[in-house]
Structure 1
Amino acid sequence: MLDIASLTELLAQPQKIVITTHHKPDGDAMGSSLGLYNYLIQQGHHAKVIAPTDYPQNLSWLPGNGDVIIYTENIPRSAQLIADADIIFCLDFNALSRINDMGILVGESSALKVMIDHHLEPADFDDYRYWDINACATAQLVYKFIVKELNHPELINKDVAVCLYTGIMTDSASFSLPKTTAEVHLIVAALIEAGADGYYIHEQVYNDSSESRLRFLGMCLSEKLEVLYEYNTAIITVSKQDLEKYNVITGDTEGIVNYALSISGIRLAAFIVERTDMVKLSLRSKGEFPANDICKKYFNGGGHRNAAGGMSNSSFEEVVNQFKLILPEYKKLLIQ
């Protein structure tokens, strides 16, 4: 495993660098990736962010977004950049399977792999790891990596600050989750001092919905919400037909599961959606309930204790029924 001194020495000279993150990137994935990108280009590195798939439109304003390459839209160029890279930064994911087909290319690349992440049980594919499951966001770790490990606080300029603030804000649910510690607030304060405008960022991320997205949300809450009070669980289920009816695009389903969790007394919420190739689940929980245990054990997924995801190749109806049949196993934890 590479040590920080060796990595710092490498980064002292311009390198060909690829930064990538998990498929269907969220605010933390793109915020941390573009935050690191904006730091590296100040030092003269030849850096590129390659996203495995597209991502929500409400992240397209982030500084550096215009230089992002989407792998599925430009496979030849992406493959060449990965093959030529000296260093590949892997942000906000802990296994190559999380970047889909890109995982094969990254695994085969001779480049040094640097993982910066906060998810449980990282796979052993990296050469250097900056990892902390107690961090509220990967963007928090990128800030600490730049400031404390590489000793470059002066390079946290406005562009870096805006991106990292976005990552921390989104992954902490606007600074409301338990891992939003005093350290997180101190980092956020430093980012504001560096030029991040919290009000502007919040408006761009959360208050820029399309009409169809708002109508889709209304349908989810009025027609697709099911509350199982005997298990303190709420479920929102969305079919392919629902997605087509409301012209749902990437990002439109983000955060909807949290509305189910906001119901008084609910300890577990599930958002189950039928995609073209599989059924996907997003789980959120309160307190000590292990949402990640359900995803890992039954739905080929995982994540954090209170925020996890999974998938299944079974039919939509089978997945919904399977989820409900699992609940009695966790009843004691759900009703305590």
Structure 2
Amino acid sequence: MLDIASVARLLEQPRKIVITTHHKPDGDALGSSLGLYNYLIQQGHHAKVVVPSDYPDFLSWMPGNEEVIIYTENVAISDTLIAEAEMIFCLDFNALSRINAMTDSVRASQAVKLMIDHHLEPEDFDDFRYWDINACATAQLVYTFIADALNNKALINKDVATCLYTGIMTDSASFRLPKTTAEVHLIAAELINAGAVNWRIHELVYNSSTENRLRFLGHCLSSKLEVLYEYNTAIVSVTKAELEQYDVQTGDTEGIVNFALSIVNIKLAAFIVERTDGIKLSLRSKGEFPANEICKKYFSGGGHRNAAGGRSDKALDEVVQELKDILPNYKKLLIQ
């Protein structure tokens, strides 16, 4: 669905461009957005990154971060930028509902919309699509979009490379997930050659916890972890009161589900948290187990086979029990 010749022609002259990504941006969402931003401004485009919500402090060091506009904190400015945009790049999401409060503004915009993404079953809202479910990260696709599709590898400078390396590193769980192919490692090497300081990026993302975040992690693992060995499943559930007790900030819950999945023989892990706007679920799995199917079928969500999310308006204990009640349906897959 990508007519690269048409996209290249659109980008031949400076354009008003908005780059956006999903609610609560993670490393890939923000890294791919800022990577693309740092590429576009080199060509004289009037680019702005507008994100639906805040994001973790451990991502705020990336080049161009100071130019990011948070929609919920700057609604009028954001809506004006979206309305006046000639192009909108939609990165790391495949349905407009994933941008929450921005949905109506982006849907109503007359701008050309180009989606760059790697999630299953994209919604048909875009004019152009650079999409591959086999990519380990959207940042990987932004790299190939610039380097291969647009043939502008020379413009992948240190700032672009730093952001894209961050996106690939975080979405591949530090190059550990099955979609981390030889091609991904070659791209990572190209980004390091372009100026990305790999060890420093890892340090900034993974070794910058606050004391509260570390104590909250300890609380989750010591007091909130439930292991169901008959289904090779581990569940961590957290109340809103516990979030307040540990002064949990955006990003502080990220990665906790992976600790549960690291237990020997566990094939499915869930982190279930009570938020002010409902219950949020984060599921991770190993091998062929379809975490995305559970989220889509039962919890109004979706995602990748091994990494998916969902939500519910029920009480926390009801959601935990609902997940447990679902497990017998998948017992054969979980214990094989």
TM-score (norm 1): 0.99
Deviations 1:174-197 (A, max 9, x none): 000000000000000000000000
Partner of 2:187 in structure 1? 187
Partner of 1:291 in structure 2? 291
Letter of the structure 2 residue corresponding to residue 326 of structure 1: I
Structure 1 residue 6, shift from structure 2 partner = 1.0
Partner of 2:128 in structure 1? 128
Cα distance in 1 for partners of 2:26, 2:242 equals 22
Partner of 1:6 in structure 2? 6
1:262-273 aligned at under 5 Å gives the runs 262-273=262-273
Partner of 2:107 in structure 1? 107
Partner of 1:18 in structure 2? 18
Partner of 2:205 in structure 1? 205
Show structure 1 runs of 5+ residues with no match: none
Partner of 1:77 in structure 2? 77
Structure 1 residue 277, shift from structure 2 partner = 1.1
- Which segments of structure 1 move beyond 2 Å, counting only runs of 4 or more? none
Corresponding residue SS for 1:114: strand
Structure 1 residue 295, shift from structure 2 partner = 0.1
- Is the 2:28–2:171 Cα contact (8 Å) retained in structure 1? yes
Partner of 1:44 in structure 2? 44
Identity rate, percent: 76
TM-score (norm 2): 0.99
Cα distance in 1 for partners of 2:10, 2:310 equals 37
Deviations 1:266-297 (A, max 9, x none): 00000000001100000000000000000000
| 1:228 aligns to 2:228 (yes or no) | yes
Alignment length, in residue pairs?
A: 336
Deviations 1:73-103 (A, max 9, x none): 0000000000000000000000000000201
Partner of 2:57 in structure 1? 57
Partner of 2:66 in structure 1? 66
Partner of 1:89 in structure 2? 89
- Is the 2:2–2:130 Cα contact (8 Å) retained in structure 1? no
Letter of the structure 2 residue corresponding to residue 58 of structure 1: F
Letter of the structure 2 residue corresponding to residue 35 of structure 1: G
- Is the 2:52–2:71 Cα contact (8 Å) retained in structure 1? yes
Deviations 1:140-168 (A, max 9, x none): 00000001111100000000000000000
Show structure 2 runs of 5+ residues with no match: none
1:103-182 aligned at under 5 Å gives the runs 103-182=103-182
Structure 1 residue 2, shift from structure 2 partner = 6.3
| 1:301 aligns to 2:309 (yes or no) | no
